[in-house]
Amino acid sequence: MQAQLQGHTGLITLPAIGAKANGCTFAGTLTGKDGQPYALVKLDQHATKRLTWSDAMAWAKGLDADLPSRPESAMLFALLKDKFPPAWYWTNEEYNSSYAWYCNFPYGYQGSDHKSAEGAAVAVRRFPLQFFIPFFSGEEVAL
């Protein structure tokens, strides 16, 4: 996969979807709400038990990561479904003050549940593309 970065000449080569490095799995690229492309990696570490939404958010933050957004969860299901034990996984998005969104990985649908419900959690990190290639190749990068 290749990508053109605004302000850079030439193309950069991205790893294959599912490639592993630095304890992460490359999930693909998306465009943020600001219009800038970014790379998404799934941390290989999953939560070891089911968590409430607030506990899942705190668990991911403790890994210097985040829960995936709804669009990111849809992409993870589409491209890396086989990397997830069957369960529903919290997203980082609230439905309202009492409910939050989840993605069901056996089937791919999304719904909301009470934040006190216990679901599975996976952590992701987002990288602007100019910082991603050095990170994924193991080079030191100041973010």
- Which amino acid belongs to residue 131? F
- Report the mean per-residue pLDDT for the chain: 86
pLDDT at position 132: 61
pTM: 0.84
User: Looking at the domain 2-136, which fold is it?
Assistant: Mannose-Binding Protein A; Chain A (3.10.100)
Degrees, nearest 5: CA angle 74-125-34: 75
Residue 7 has pLDDT above 60, yes or no: no
Domain ranges of the chain: 2-136
As a whole-number percent, the residues of the chain with pLDDT over 70 amount to 82
pLDDT at position 110: 97
Predicted confidence band at 141 (pLDDT cuts at 50, 70, 90)?
A: very low
Q: What are phi and psi of 37, to 5 degrees?
A: -75, 150
**What are 22-73's pLDDT values in tens digits?**
899 999 999 888 888 899 999 998 899 999 999 999 999 999 999 999 999 9
Predicted confidence band at 4 (pLDDT cuts at 50, 70, 90)?
A: very low
Q: What is the DSSP letter of 34?
A: T
Beta bridge pairs of residue 100? 94, 113
- Contact 75/81 with Cβ under 8 angstroms? no
